[in-house]
Structure 1
Amino acid sequence: MEIVLQPLSVSEFPIIMDAVNAQDRDFMYLWAGSTYTYPLTIEQMEQHYGKGVHSIEAGVFLYKIVDRETQRMIGSVQIGRIDPIRKEAVVGRFLIHSEHHRGQGIGEKVLRGLARIGFEELDLERILLNVYHINARAIRCYEKVGFCKTYSKKKLYQALNGEYWDGIEMTLEKQAWMAAK
């Protein structure tokens, strides 16, 4: 499947809200950490993005993941917490809406697209992301793109089943990305 990243508008928040709320609290935590309270609401999203989107001043760029053939939105992702002094940002809120679209290499394509945006358009030197140790499929995807584990924090979240999840920070350096390109 060929995908394209397009700016996501605030009017499309309900699509994300519905995709997240179709799952449980643990899923939402995998997607957004402690940012929101389950169930997700438009008000929570609007408050979180109160400074706006799609600008360095807002510190975040939101994208919808679009199937080029059907022009349908199949997911969303952001690059945010942009620090122009340290020249770094964080990938987050990465969501492929349907299980049907997972496991097809879409995540890898999305991350390569975000890396290009981050390194070539935003002039970043590193891109970070956070993932939980139980999300092995996502970790494999991130490693394929070149992200390396740089930090781990034990027992960051307790799931509904009582299991504790460890948080892992992963980093992609511009130099390594350019060399692999």
Structure 2
Amino acid sequence: MKIGLQPLDRSELPIIADAVSAQDRDFMYLWAGSTYTYPLTIEQMEQHYSKGIHSIEAGVLIYKIVNCETQRMIGSVQLGRIDSIRKEAVVGRFLIHSEQDRGLGIGTKVLQALVRIGFEELDLERILLNVYHINVRAIRCYEKVGFRKTYSKRKLYQALNGEYWNGMEMTLEKQAWMAVD
């Protein structure tokens, strides 16, 4: 499947809210950490993105992930906390909406495209992301693109089943990316 990244329009925020709220609190925490309270609402998203959803001035670029053959939005991802002085940003809110679209390599293609934007268009030197240890599929995707574990923190979240989730930060340096790309 050929995928594309297109700037998200504010009118498409409900699509994300519906996809996240169709899951449970653990899923939302896996997606956004402690940013929101379950269930996700448009009001929470509007407040969080009060400075904008796709501009350097707002410090965030939110993209919709589109199936190029059908033009259907199948997910979303953001490059946020864009810091032009430190020349770094953080990948976040990465979501493939439907289980049927997961496990097909879409996430890897999306992340490769987002990293290319960060390093080539925004001239970043480093891209970071945060992930919970239980999200094994996502970690595999991140490692395929070149991200490496740089930091861990134990017991960041207690899931509905009582299990504690450990967090980890992963980093991709521009030099390492260029050596492989």
Whether TM-score is above 0.5 comes out as yes
CA shift, 1:21, in A, is 0.6
Aligned-partner Cα distance in 2 for 1:95–1:137:
12
Structure 1 unaligned residues grouped into runs of 5+ = none
TM-score (norm 1): 0.99
The 3-state SS of whatever aligns with 1:70 is coil
Q: Take 2:136 and 2:52, find their aligned partners in 1: how far apart are those partners?
A: 32
| Structure 2 SS opposite 1:45 | helix
Give the whole-Å Cα distance in 1 for the aligned partners of 2:121 and 2:55: 12
Deviation, 1:56, is: 1.3
Q: SS of the counterpart of 2:118? A: helix
Structure 2 counterpart of 1:128, one-letter code: L
| Deviation at residue 55 of structure 1 after TM alignment | 1.4
Gaps of 5+ in 2: none
2:142 is aligned with 1:142: yes
TM-score normalised by L of structure 2: 0.99
2:159 counterpart residue number: 159
- 1:71, 1:53 → 2: CA distance? 21
Following superposition, the deviation at residue 53 of structure 1 comes to 2.2
SS at match of 2:138: helix
- In structure 2, the partner of 1:37 is 37
For 2:77 and 2:54, the matched residues in 1 are separated by 12
The CA RMSD over aligned residues, in Å, is 0.5
Alignment of 1:75-90 (within 5 A): 75-90=75-90
Q: Which residue of 2 aligns with 1:109?
A: 109
Between the aligned partners of 1:137 and 1:7, the Cα distance in structure 2 is 25
Q: Name segments (4+ residues, structure 1) moved above 2 Å.
A: none
- Letter of the structure 2 residue corresponding to residue 141 of structure 1: C
Counterparts of 1:68 and 1:12, CA distance in 2? 17
1:133 counterpart residue number: 133
Counterparts of 2:7 and 2:52, CA distance in 1:
13
C-alpha separation in 2, matches of 1:54 and 1:17: 17
Shift in Å, 1:177: 0.7
> How far apart are residue 84 of structure 1 and its match?
0.7
Amino acid at match of 1:74: I
Corresponding position of 2:121:
121
Report the count of equivalent residues.
Answer: 181
Q: Which residue is equivalent to 1:71?
A: 71
Give secondary structure in 2 for the equivalent of 1:123. Answer: coil
Alpha-carbon deviation of 1:5? 0.2
Calculate percent identity across the aligned residue pairs.
Answer: 84
**Secondary structure of 1:38's partner?**
coil
Q: Does 2:43 correspond to 1:9?
A: no
Counterpart Cα distance in 2 of 1:147 and 1:57 = 26
Does residue 91 of the first structure (1) align with residue 107 of the second (2)? no
Quick one: which amino acid aligns to residue 179 of structure 1?
A
